[in-house]
């Protein structure tokens, strides 16, 4: 069985073996129960090591293509699974942003590049927790979350003048889990809430999933458009307003003090609560206006996460609210997921306790500040319109002045650059030529070439 293995190909040898064996079985019409070549013979025929063939056969057994019979060898399974139907181009584009092995530059994504992550301190904290706390390997965390972690969160919140007791904090599997718990706990189908436009697309999908109706409040450079909000409040009675106060996703803008105070006044007058998503809190540069700080958690529910800074895989976030709300959240958390990962929570607590996390975010802030300044300088006003110049964070919201959005996307695809469509960030999903640009990726040569191509074609349009 010569499978034409190419050792210089981008695909690993073992993956080529697995694919080749599958194709060989199909092409030759090998019946179920037929004996496969031995490991030694397959290795000899393809000039491979025994270990490579063993690993490939193990994967084929695990996927149900082959069966292993002790002392007899490997046989074609009685029912070989058929390959799933190929994904459509729309499916591929939809999920490719989350594919770690993708060769595309994820210029429109919402997280930091892997090369920016500090795996040394993280790995050390994981080893420390595993050695010193074996319970974290096997047990659930408590309904409210690790007591050790909540104490550290309490201290961090105090530095932001958000003063709470540990009983007002519940841990979550990231901020998205926190939003899901809040929607499940506080809202029911048919309820009406306010959201920002543009805003966080996954929140829109979550609310739609639960049958919650939304009213869109335009986002300005200083926060929600107060005049538009007041018009909506004159006609409707929403129960909650979901909002990013700082470095909003996708515009990168932050609340001005006057807007923050007016929001709280309107919340009191019209009897609605504010759910403040402060996912980018650790990227803060200088003073900012947090609703939870101004309100002392009277009408504000606050949530944040360590996923954006520490690790997207280590899902640890938290919600802060009045004790009665926290208790209800804990009940829903138990019903829907029992508990969070005690291992993940204790790893984060370790990094907070030894100071490694503080140093990490300092380095990230400095690096992002430089990238933000470079990006804003590069977006020539003659060719790009920038919604607002953020003071920090990950995002710039911009659009090409003279090119259609479809052409911008086409140029990006030609250069192996992946963008996030502006329509994704609108509650109604209407066509939109604005783009979310992640400044952590803008100095890559592919991004640089992308900006140059946009400017070159725009210059031609001017002639």
Greatest distance between any 2 Cα atoms in the chain: 80
- What is the rounded CA–CA span in Å between residue 96 and residue 439? 19
Query: What dotted CATH number matches 13-76?
Result: 1.10.10.10
HSE toward the beta carbon, residue 265, CA cutoff 13 A: 9
Which residue shows structure tokens 């192996």?
A: 416
d(CA 215, CA 401): 29
Query: Whose structure tokens read 């090119």?
Result: 403
pLDDT values of the chain reduced to their tens digit, one per residue, 463 residues: 778 888 777 678 888 888 889 888 888 888 888 899 999 988 888 888 888 889 989 998 888 889 888 888 899 987 655 555 555 444 455 555 566 556 789 999 999 998 888 789 999 998 999 888 777 777 878 899 999 999 999 999 999 999 999 999 999 999 999 999 999 999 999 999 999 999 999 999 999 999 999 999 999 999 999 999 999 999 999 999 999 999 999 999 999 999 999 999 999 999 999 999 999 999 998 788 899 999 999 999 999 999 888 888 889 999 999 999 999 999 999 998 888 889 999 999 999 999 999 999 999 999 999 999 999 999 999 999 999 999 999 999 999 999 999 999 999 999 999 998 899 999 999 999 999 999 999 999 999 999 999 999 999 887 6
Task: Provide long-range contacts, Cβ within 8 A and 24+ apart, for 111-117.
Answer: 111/308, 111/312, 111/438, 112/308, 112/309, 112/364, 112/394, 112/440, 113/440, 113/441, 116/364, 116/367, 116/440, 117/311
User: Do residues 317 and 177 lie in contact, with contact meaning Cβ atoms separated by under 8 Å?
Assistant: yes
**Listed residue (220, 457, 171) closest to 334, CA to CA:** 171
285 Cβ contact list (under 8 Å, min separation 6): 365, 369, 391, 392
Task: Give all strands of the β-sheet with 223-224 in edge-to-edge order.
Answer: 169-172, 317-320, 300-305, 273-277, 240-243, 192-197, 213-220, 223-224
Global pTM value: 0.80
For the domain spanning 89-116+359-462, the CATH number is 3.90.1150.10
Report the distance separating Cα 253 and Cα 45, nearest Å: 61
pLDDT of 99 reads 64
Give backbone dihedrals phi and psi of 254, rounded to 5 degrees, phi first: -130, 155
The neighbour count for residue 31, using CB atoms within 10 Å, is 10
State residue 62's pLDDT score: 87
Pairing of strands 273-277, 66-69: unpaired
Tally of CB atoms within 10 A around 168? 21
Residues of the chain with CATH 3.40.640.10: 119-354
Backbone angles phi, psi at 302, to 5 degrees: -115, 135
Structural element, H or E, at residue 92: helix 89-96
Query: Would you state the pLDDT for residue 312?
Result: 82
Alpha-carbon torsion (102, 104, 106, 112), positive or negative: positive
Alpha-carbon gap, residue 71 to 389, rounded angstroms: 68
Give the Cα separation of 160 and 434 in Å (integer): 33
**CA nearest to 190, candidates 207, 169, 166:** 207
119-354 topology per CATH: 3.40.640
Residues of the chain with CATH 3.90.1150.10: 89-116+359-462
Nearest to 350 by CA among 24, 80, 121, 197: 121
Q: Choose among 426, 348, 440, 425: nearest CA to 393.
A: 440
SS3 breakdown of the chain: % helix, strand, coil, rounded to 5?
A: 50, 15, 40
- Give the position of tokens 């149900």: 64
Give start-end residues of each CATH 1.10.10.10 domain in the chain.
13-76
Measured over the CA atoms of residue 195, residue 200, residue 204 and residue 209, the dihedral's sign is negative
**Beta carbons within 10 angstroms of residue 1's beta carbon:** 12
Residue 446 three-state SS: helix
**Element holding 348 (H helix, E strand):** helix 342-353
Q: What per-residue confidence (pLDDT) applies to 46?
A: 86
* pLDDT number for residue 91: 47
On whether the CB atoms of residues 441 and 457 are closer than 8 A, the answer is: no
């Amino acid at each position: 069985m010569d499978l034409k293995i190419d050792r210089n190909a981008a695909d690993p040898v073992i993956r080529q073996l697995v694919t080749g064996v599958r194709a060989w079985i199909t092409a030759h019409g090998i019946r179920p129960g037929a004996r496969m070549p031995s490991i030694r013979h397959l290795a000899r025929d393809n000039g491979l090591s025994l270990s490579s063939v063993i690993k490939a056969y193990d994967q084929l057994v695990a996927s149900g293509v082959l069966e292993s019979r002790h002392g007899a060898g490997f046989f074609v399974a009685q029912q070989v699974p058929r390959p799933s139907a190929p994904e459509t181009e729309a499916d591929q584009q939809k999920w490719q942003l989350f594919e770690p092995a993708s060769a595309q530059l994820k210029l429109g994504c919402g997280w930091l590049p892997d090369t920016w992550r500090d795996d040394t301190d993280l790995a050390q904290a994981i080893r420390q927790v595993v050695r010193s706390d074996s319970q974290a390997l096997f047990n659930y965390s408590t309904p409210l979350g690790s007591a050790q972690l909540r104490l550290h969160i309490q201290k961090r919140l105090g530095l932001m003048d958000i003063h709470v007791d540990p009983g007002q904090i519940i841990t979550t599997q990231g901020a998205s889990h926190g939003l899901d718990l809040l929607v499940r706990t506080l809202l029911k189908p048919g309820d009406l809430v306010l959201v920002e436009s543009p805003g966080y697309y996954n929140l829109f999908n979550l609310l739609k999933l639960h049958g919650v109706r939304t009213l869109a409040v335009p986002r300005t450079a200083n926060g929600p458009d107060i005049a538009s909000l007041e018009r909506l409040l004159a006609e409707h009675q929403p129960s909650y307003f979901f909002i990013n106060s700082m470095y909003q996703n996708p515009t990168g803008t932050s609340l001005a003090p006057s807007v923050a105070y007016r929001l709280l006044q309107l919340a009191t007058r019209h009897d609605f609560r504010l759910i403040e998503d402060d996912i980018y809190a650790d990227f803060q540069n200088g003073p900012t206006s947090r609703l939870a700080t101004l309100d002392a958690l009277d009408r504000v529910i606050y949530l944040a996460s360590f996923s954006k800074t520490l690790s997207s895989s280590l899902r640890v976030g938290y919600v802060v609210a009045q004790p009665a709300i926290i208790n209800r959240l804990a009940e829903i958390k138990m019903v829907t997921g029992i508990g969070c990962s005690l291992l993940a929570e204790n790893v984060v607590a370790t990094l907070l306790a030894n100071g490694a996390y503080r140093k990490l975010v300092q380095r990230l802030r400095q690096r992002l500040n430089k990238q933000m300044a470079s990006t804003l300088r590069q977006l020539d006003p003659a060719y790009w319109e920038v919604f607002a110049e953020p003071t920090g964070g990950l995002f710039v919201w911009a659009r090409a002045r003279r090119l259609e959005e479809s052409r911008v996307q086409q140029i990006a695809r030609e250069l192996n650059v992946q963008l996030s469509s502006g329509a994704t960030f609108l509650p109604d999903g209407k066509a939109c030529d604005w783009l979310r640009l992640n400044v952590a990726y803008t100095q890559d040569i592919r991004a640089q070439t992308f900006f140059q191509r946009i400017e070159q074609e725009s210059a031609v349009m001017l002639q």
